[in-house]
Structure 1
Amino acid sequence: MVDAAVQVRPGGRSAKVRAAVHRAVAELLAEEPAEALTIPAVAARAGVHATTVYRRWGSAAQLLNDVATSRFSGDVVVPDSGSLAGDLERWLGDVATDLADPDTLALMRATIGSGPEGGCACTGDRHEQLSAIIERERARGGHAPEVGKAVDFLLGPLYYRAIFSDQPATGEWARELVTTFLAVSRSRSAQQS
């Protein structure tokens, strides 16, 4: 039995600073254009000294990458419907819903605009999820397309629409992408056989 007088620190000062800084970034992006996001502004909003933020992250770009990596990791569950089409349709619909959130979109645009590694912070987990879906299909013995082609065909249009267009990526649109992708993939596979 654990003594009630003993208290465990739930992460200590470092975790509290990180959480406060991440929250400050999200709040500032919701209120201001991305260009207004500076280390001093984030530090002031988080209630920490700017040198603390500079010491831990170094630059606004590195801070945005950390916030994006944290935000886009594990937020969308990889479904297991028993079929590749079902898994892809549900997953892509969930990703589309996530990307439609204005706060998510603001973070993504700011991170991508901060430098070349910003895109990786916003898509790395999505690539891993898509890879897991495709590998599961292979393990079931089904036809599974290459991960790179799936990324290009499914995530490319979805992220393009989210970042550069005012057209929403609806669930129906995501399902159409999956249907078209699987049909093209099967057709190419049949031609190669």
Structure 2
Amino acid sequence: MAIKEGLRPGGRSARVQESVHSAVRELLEAHERSSVTVPMIAARAGVTPSTIYRRWGDLSALLADVALARMRPDSEPVNTGSLRGDIRAWAEQYLDEMSSEPGRNMMRDVQSTQTPGYCVNILGGQLQIILDRYRDSGDVLPNLDRLLNLVVAPTVFRILFSSAPLGVGELHELIEVALRG
């Protein structure tokens, strides 16, 4: 079997991926998650089930791939004019989006991937944009790992493993701890 050099952007492979991803998103909006099957997705996407199995292996890998694609930010974090304000706005939006049922499901799908570090790269990238805005401000900035460990990690843990996510007040307290040198 020949090794392919790479996929052509916008080629058949990209069209199949977009069609399948779109079908998954539509089906998850219309049906209970547990009732969505590979044959349903294939029929909606206009491909054969074997196409899905060949490319993704199984349903959980496909759901994880769709979740990973949805996690990529559409834009830069909001610029409020202050480091504290930017981090609060970003963290509140993240908490709101990820503590919703679709957000929790997306996080669970991503957990099942073979892509360690993917989420840290996405979330760290967003926080690094914020830190870079204030690099020349003269303020003492926390390092990225401190923000990930003191703000993001407890937020994710509570969303996934607790009966209730962090409250906004608790989130603000964690931000204050992270911002203290």
| Fold similarity call, TM over 0.5 | yes
- Contact conserved, 1:97 with 1:170, CA < 8 A, in 2? no
Distance change (3 Å), C-alpha of 1:102 and 1:75: farther
Question: Which segment drifts farther, 24-33 or 143-152?
Answer: 24-33
1:56 aligns with 55
1:100 aligns with 99
Q: CA offset at residue 122 of structure 1?
A: 4.1
Q: CA offset at residue 13 of structure 1?
A: 5.9
More helix by share: 1
RMSD of aligned alpha carbons = 2.7
| Residue segments in structure 2 that go unaligned for 5+ positions in a row | 1-9
Q: Does 1:88 align with 2:87?
A: yes
Question: Which segment drifts farther, 161-170 or 143-152?
Answer: 161-170
| Residue segments in structure 1 that go unaligned for 5+ positions in a row | 1-10, 187-193
Over the matched positions of the two proteins, sequence identity in percent amounts to: 34
Superposition map of 1:26-65 within 5 A: 26=25, 27-28=27-28, 31-33=32-34, 39-65=38-64
1:18 aligns with 17
TM-score by length of 2: 0.76
Distance change (3 Å), C-alpha of 1:50 and 1:123: farther
Distance change (3 Å), C-alpha of 1:142 and 1:174: same
Distance change (3 Å), C-alpha of 1:164 and 1:76: farther
TM-score by length of 1: 0.72
Q: CA offset at residue 165 of structure 1?
A: 1.2
SS at match of 2:135: helix
Deviation per residue, 1:87-110 (Å, 9 max, x gap): 111110010111122112112212
Superposition map of 1:115-126 within 5 A: 115-117=113-115, 120-126=117-123
Question: What code does the residue aligned with 1:80 have?
Answer: N
Q: 2 CA distance for matches of 1:77 and 1:96?
A: 17
Question: What code does the residue aligned with 1:67 have?
Answer: V
2:3 aligns with none
Task: Work out the number of aligned pairs and report it.
Answer: 170
Structure with the greater relative contact order (CA < 8 A, sep ≥ 6): 1 or 2?
Answer: 1
